[in-house]
Structure 1
């Protein structure tokens, strides 16, 4: 069963995202490359993903994608706690990003934007 999420998210170092936008292609983190797909998170799991994999890390961005804009390379697969997570089995075109926010830190926790699930038109990066 495919979830009905409208948005999915990628957390990554801001520097990596800037390189990707300059090159026009995002191939993911070292873990993504090793696993053979780009790890993404559904809205209900993105905060837990940040806490589990990025606690205390500064200089990160939250990148939002519209599920409808992604190709058949997007697969929903069971992962942590049997939650279905979106995995993208191809490089991503950074122009498909709907929004990009910096993730500020409050101690070891990231501060997520209040409007991260509010629909907005595509914006220039």
Structure 2
């Protein structure tokens, strides 16, 4: 499997707000509990939003340059045996974020992804 150039982090605006001043994002509560930061590929993003963020509005999608994360980025099997990107060993440096965009997930899990998701 070749590593995609961009991977995606879903967060709430409230969880992400402190990162703007700090220059690094510590993650969502689940990331802190699990000891690593959860990401999705472009192909996995819609299902992740549907399964874990149904009915939520005001979310942010962070497009992160995978190559900027170094050895802390590990690909591990998760949902259905798919390999998911996980970041170990510290916060996400905002310098690795290529862009961010808002997204709302409907009560049925439907959403419109930003057109830059690739």
Does the alignment reach a TM-score above 0.5?
A: yes
Q: What is the aligned partner in structure 2 of residue 94 from structure 1?
A: 94
In structure 1, what is the Cα distance between the partners aligned to 2:30 and 2:104? Answer: 23
- Structure 2 gap segments, 5+ residues each: none
Q: How do residues 16-35 of structure 1 correspond to structure 2 at under 5 angstroms?
A: 16-35=15-34
CA RMSD of aligned residues (A): 1.4
Report Cα offsets for 1:35-73 as digits up to 9, x if no partner. Answer: 100000011101100000001101100000111111210
In structure 1, what is the Cα distance between the partners aligned to 2:113 and 2:92? Answer: 23
Shift of 1:110: 2.2
Matched residues, number:
116
Shift of 1:7: 1.0
Shift of 1:3: 3.8
Which structure has more helix as a fraction of its residues?
2
TM-score (norm 2): 0.90
Q: What is the aligned partner in structure 1 of residue 5 from structure 2?
A: 6
Q: How do residues 1-125 of structure 1 correspond to structure 2 at under 5 angstroms?
A: 3-89=2-88, 90-108=90-108, 109-117=110-118
In structure 2, what is the Cα distance between the partners aligned to 1:102 and 1:112? Answer: 9
Q: Is the 8 A contact 2:76 2:86 kept in 1?
A: yes
- Structure 1 gap segments, 5+ residues each: 118-125
TM-score (norm 1): 0.85
